[in-house]
Amino acid sequence: MATKCEKCGPGYPTPLEAMKGPREEIIYLPCIYRNTGIEAPDYLATVDVDPKSPHYCQVIEAEDIHAKCDLGYVHTSHCLASGEVMVSSLGDPKGNGKGGFVLLDGETFEVKGTWERPGGAAPMGYDFWYQPRHNVMISSEWAAPNVFRDGFNPADVEAGLYGSHLHVWDWQRHEIVQTLPLQDGLIPLEVRFLHNPDAAQGFVGCALSSTIQRFYKNQGGTWSVEKVIQVPPKKVKGWMLPEMPGLITDILLSLDDRFLYFSNWLHGDLRQYDISDPQRPRLTGQLFLGGSIVKGGPVQVLEDQELKSQPEPLVVKGKRVPGGPQMIQLSLDGKRLYVTTSLYSAWDKQFYPDLIREGSVMLQIDVDTVKGGLKLNPNFLVDFGKEPLGPALAHELRYPGGDCSSDIWV
């Protein structure tokens, strides 16, 4: 873990040691009002997740994000061993595609410049993960902000405006050394190396193609990629297209590199795979948490390669959950999975308009780390529809001392 960033948390020498850390007590979530019709600033919510606390399942603090920083078109941040913070960008100030990286001072968060060499940005950007022991960084690509920010248009797919490559960077030279085309890999989003810092492989979730792709280092030092999981589309009626993809929007790995988790935002299910053999992931848990194909909704499933019937709507503590599982975060010990249901306000409005009216929610899933399996905690619900300024869209989840999707061991 990075040196200066360790001031925010305990810091652990290895991923396996981190699994022995204390149970999480609070979670930070950015909450969005942009494009919802509510004139209020986006904010950072602090949620109490300590079962012993009288404020369990409640937002206990909200802080204005834009009072701190407003860079625009940025996505992922990781601490570096230098004490700096590196942030990926999706585009230039005009909304054109540009997969570059911004360096921030790790204490003041002032912009120090770009990480990549001048003129060396990728055509598009989104997420990244680095593995210093192999002198490599892998970055992914969504699309230019001008393409996706007002909603999803299938014609943009036909026009080739969405990403379908991974970029391999030389970590020391700050330049692209390889670009990997993805077979069945439209819109590669979240990148996850194995947590073991010696590992030379990882996974990326491809949203539109609904595949998980494994990337790995060859003996000669080059990198390759292969598809290891395919979520089949469902033939439907009453939707924008005749086939509905799962739309894998987030993935993560447990700190012991045993399980891979991902969310199918449109189909509505959360999945757990045993990746003891990374080339042959094995499905060990699946749980439906809303989605677009629930019974009684506008979509009728005509042909389904996986399910015999459409899942029931999800009701937690008397509230029917709008949207589908999206951002996910795992406890350090791997026994609890937290989930939010909003993707991006313009896409929320298009695919789940109830999210705009009601706000998103946060759920908690109990995980069987021995045999595998997922079970909803029926007593946990954070309803962001009840926020003081109006329904909000909660997004990714982070712990104060580091977590499975932000910590990198060097």
Tokens representing residue 266 in the block: 């449109």
pLDDT given for residue 1 in this prediction? 37
Q: What are phi and psi of 26, to 5 degrees?
A: -135, 155
Structure tokens at 139: 């970055």
The two three-digit tokens of residue 276, written as one number: 């003891």
- Under-50 pLDDT residues of the chain: 1-9, 66-72
Q: How far apart are CA 356 and CA 326, in angstroms?
A: 15
Domain boundaries, the chain: 24-114
DSSP for 362-395, please give it.
EEEEEE-SSS--EEE-TT--EEGGG-TTS--EE-
Burial of 197 (0-12, 13-18, 19+ CB in 10 A): middle
DSSP state of 232: -
Tell me what pLDDT residue 210 has: 98
The confidence score (pLDDT) of residue 29 equals 93
Q: Are 253 and 238 in contact (CB under 8 A)?
A: no
User: Tell me: the pLDDT tens digits for 138-152?
Assistant: 999 999 999 999 999
Take residue 187 and report the two structure tokens written for it: 């819109």
φ/ψ of 95, rounded to 5, equals: 90, 10
Q: How far apart are CA 134 and CA 329, in angstroms?
A: 26
- Cα angle 366, 372, 378 (rounded to 5 degrees) comes to 20
With a CB cutoff of 8 Å and minimum separation 6, the contacts of 113 are 102, 103
Q: Which residue has the tokens 């509905």?
A: 244
State pTM to two decimals. Answer: 0.94
| pLDDT score, position 137 | 97
Which two structure tokens, joined as six digits, stand for 17?
């040691």
Can you list the positions of beta strands (E) in 97-247? 101-104, 111-114, 128-131, 136-139, 165-170, 175-181, 188-193, 201-206, 211-217, 223-230, 234-237, 243-244
d(CA 284, CA 287): 11
3-state secondary structure of 153: coil
Cβ–Cβ < 8 Å for 32, 111: no
* Distances from the Cα of 367 to the Cα of 29, 66, 200, 261, 372, angstroms: 21, 35, 27, 11, 7
Judged by DSSP in three states, 353 sits in: helix
For residue 31, give the nearest of 378, 269, 362, 367 by alpha carbon. Answer: 362
What are 326's two structure tokens? Answer: 């999206």
Helices (DSSP H) in 64-166: which residue ranges?
145-148, 154-158
CA-to-CA distance for 279 and 285, rounded, in angstroms? Answer: 18
Report pLDDT for 297. 94
Amino acid of residue 341: T
pLDDT value at residue 406: 87
Place of tokens 């625009």: 72
In angstroms and rounded to an integer, the radius of gyration of the C-alpha atoms of the chain is: 20
